[in-house]
Amino acid sequence: MEAVSFPSAEAALIAFLKSRLAARSDSAAVAASVPASRPSRMVKVTRVGGRRSGVAHDEALVTFECWETSPTRASSLALLVRALVASFDSPTAWYSGEVGGPASFPDPLSDSPRYQFTAIIRTRGEAIS
């Protein structure tokens, strides 16, 4: 089998969500990790698994954690991010489906309201030598 390198689903989604949220004048921070001083409105994007599908495709399982100041606002942010992620489509990565829809998952460290969901993002790899 050829050596194939796949793009980072996390990096592509973070760039996509930052752009789409900014276009809506939404102040939500989007990142792969939570900073020491977490913003009250934040989306964390994390690849939590997945599998290679054939020679040229990877199916990344990506979890989106959405924090806000109240459960209602955290739920609304998760629903917005879910809608945006479902429209994700680029030449090398695209939305392929949902594993689990938005669910309340309060942050155990801060007891802050948080909702999360997990999606499948398919990426197309490139042969490397």
Return the closest-CA partner of residue 124 out of 94, 83, 87.
94
pTM of the complete model: 0.95
Per residue in 62-98, pLDDT tens? 999 999 999 999 999 999 999 999 999 999 999 999 9
Q: Which CATH superfamily is domain 4-22+41-127 in?
A: Phage minor tail protein U (3.30.70.1700)
At residue 1 the predicted structure's pLDDT band, cuts being 50, 70 and 90, is low
Report the pLDDT averaged over residues 38-46: 97
Integer Cα distance of 45 and 1 in angstroms = 31
pLDDT for 2: 77
Sign of CA pseudo-dihedral 22, 76, 86, 119 = positive
